[in-house]
Structure 1
Amino acid sequence: MFAVSSQNKVDYNQVSQNLLQSIIDGKSVENQIDILAKSSLSDLENQLKTDSQKIAFWVNVYNAFIQISLSENPELYKDKGKFFGEERIKIAGETLSFDDIEHGIIRKSRIKISLGYLRKWFVPKWERKLRVKKIDWRIHFALNCGAKSCPPVAIYTPENLDKEFNFMTTAYLKEQTSYNSETKIANSVALFSWFRGDFGGICGAKKILKKYKITSEKTKKLDFNTYDWTILLGNFRTIPE
């Protein structure tokens, strides 16, 4: 079922949650896809006002369409640049790519290959209207690109996003990080390197590991694990209430 307000408007965050839940349950997603395809820029702009609303919605949509696209055609993953860059998601009166959602909307118009330090010069109108006001680095531990090394897929809500993100960040980093207390060297996710600007540089990544008690102290050196791009679909996780 889709939540409907007193003004008879679709609750798009609820639709994004239902879309992922249907995938998890192995049910049809045609209705949710149709609703998103018929949405307009003004629909989403008027409803997704806070960053929490925007992030929860777009992370759910991104993760859902990764599952849908690769389930339908795993061969798409052989050319990852094309897979992520090709427009394939009909929403808000546009057809968006995964890169549009991740780097344009959720990462506030960052250039994909810039380690998180450079912003795009030319930004389309829809992107300016839909993007977040501030980058939340925890999105990197919520977005699932379909690979084995990706964080698990969970359903996010704007009301509890901070708690949900903290849980998934802690769980994912604990699984992906090793630490040698004698050498004070940590090995962790390549995401820290690829998007270092989002984390406040490598120094910021070290602080995150300590803050989330992944390492007992601020590590002297941070090395990065090799990313496993083997397709892994259905890697779902339930966030405890």
Structure 2
Amino acid sequence: MADSAVDERDAAEASPTTVAADLLVATRTGDDPDPHLAALAGYDHDDLAPVRTDRRTALAFWTNLYNAGTQLLLERRPGLYESPLRGLRFFRADAVTVAGRGLGLDAIEQGILRGGRSKYGLGYLPRVPWPFERRYRIDCDPRIHFALNCGAESCPAIRAYEPARVDDQLDLATETYLDAGVEYDPEAGVARVPRLFLWYRGDFGGASGIRAFLREYGAVPGDADPTLRYDSWSWERAKGKFA
């Protein structure tokens, strides 16, 4: 009991970004996540001011929480993932509570990290936001799609993101995922790309934006203008896919 009390006190005194990262690490190491969950739930909006006002802090905080939330749901409520209604039950179930508000994976990804865009409509449709999402949403950075892990085999690997290094870390995550997931045939002029590019086409600026993105990260040559083909997606459950 004493050790638990110390853990709860330490978590409550840490910064929100530290608590989010520590929660993610706990899901990997098997340590008790509950002190970190309690600290997140107990914050008020003043405590979370840096998450609202600093882009790098927000990217690291919400990405770590999304990935931690995924691992917690897979551990504690695996039936939601295996459900035929996974898109509703798993992604909308409360994964973490922040400042008294239960948040599902869709709320974190679509409502906050993607700036209030629907997961339907290939990235072009807005999402009707909750007040909490409106308060914390940030402009969509398409690199998040190569950092967020929803538990599927085709998802990218999980890393713990730090505000000071988040841009370099997102670049690394993007390069790593594209290196493994893009196949370019120069003779046919075709690039086979992960299905994320189709689902979130609008986040990348359409087909021309996807091609520019692929060139920027060295997935295709700098002078290439390939036809895009989208690979299938494996939804096989892959818990604990850490880098």
Q: Same fold (TM over 0.5)?
A: yes
Q: CA deviation at 1:178?
A: 0.8
Q: Report the counterpart of residue 196 of structure 1 in structure 2.
A: 201
Q: Which runs of 4+ in 1 moved over 3 A?
A: 1-4, 45-48
* Residue from 25, 36, 41 that aligns with 1:37: 41
Q: Partner of 1:75: helix, strand, or coil?
A: helix
Q: CA deviation at 1:41?
A: 2.9
Q: CA deviation at 1:89?
A: 2.3
Q: Partner of 1:95: helix, strand, or coil?
A: strand
What does the per-residue CA deviation read over 1:153-195, in whole Å, with 9 as the maximum and x for residues that have no partner? 0000110111000001000011111111111101011010100
Q: Report the counterpart of residue 134 of structure 2 in structure 1.
A: 128
Higher relative helix content = 2
Instruction: Report the TM-score, using the length of structure 1 for normalisation.
Output: 0.90
Kept after mapping to 1: 8 A contact 2:50/2:57: no
Q: CA deviation at 1:30?
A: 1.4
Q: Pairwise mapping of residues 148-159 of structure 1 onto structure 2 (< 5 A)? A: 148-159=153-164
Kept after mapping to 2: 8 A contact 1:2/1:10: no
- CA separation of 1:2/1:223 partners in 2, compared to 1, >3 Å: closer, same or farther? farther
Q: CA deviation at 1:114?
A: 1.9
- CA separation of 1:3/1:142 partners in 2, compared to 1, >3 Å: closer, same or farther? farther
Q: How many residues align?
A: 232
Kept after mapping to 2: 8 A contact 1:2/1:11: no
Q: Report the counterpart of residue 73 of structure 1 in structure 2.
A: 77
Q: Partner of 2:115: helix, strand, or coil?
A: coil
* Residue from 95, 115, 125 that aligns with 1:118: 125
Q: Report the counterpart of residue 50 of structure 1 in structure 2.
A: 54
Is 2:89 the partner of 1:85? no
Kept after mapping to 2: 8 A contact 1:193/1:224: yes
Kept after mapping to 2: 8 A contact 1:45/1:130: no
**Aligned partner letter, 2:184:** Y
Q: Percent identity?
A: 34
Q: Report the counterpart of residue 14 of structure 1 in structure 2.
A: 18
**Aligned partner letter, 1:103:** Q
CA distance in 2, matches of 1:71, 1:125: 29
Kept after mapping to 2: 8 A contact 1:84/1:97: yes
* Residue from 172, 184, 204 that aligns with 1:179: 184
Kept after mapping to 2: 8 A contact 1:209/1:218: no
Q: Pairwise mapping of residues 196-215 of structure 1 onto structure 2 (< 5 A)? A: 196-215=201-220
**Greater shift after overlay, 185-194 or 33-42?**
33-42
**Greater shift after overlay, 48-57 or 185-194?**
48-57
Instruction: Report the TM-score, using the length of structure 2 for normalisation.
Output: 0.89
Q: Report the counterpart of residue 168 of structure 1 in structure 2.
A: 173
- CA separation of 1:143/1:47 partners in 2, compared to 1, >3 Å: closer, same or farther? closer
What does the per-residue CA deviation read over 1:65-97, in whole Å, with 9 as the maximum and x for residues that have no partner? 101111223221122122102334211221111
Is 2:228 the partner of 1:222? yes
Q: CA deviation at 1:45?
A: 3.2
Q: Pairwise mapping of residues 90-101 of structure 1 onto structure 2 (< 5 A)? A: 90-101=97-108
Q: State the Cα RMSD in Å.
A: 1.9
Q: CA deviation at 1:9?
A: 5.2
Gaps of 5+ in 1: none
**Aligned partner letter, 1:57:** F
Kept after mapping to 1: 8 A contact 2:51/2:136: no
Q: CA deviation at 1:220?
A: 2.1
**Aligned partner letter, 1:139:** I
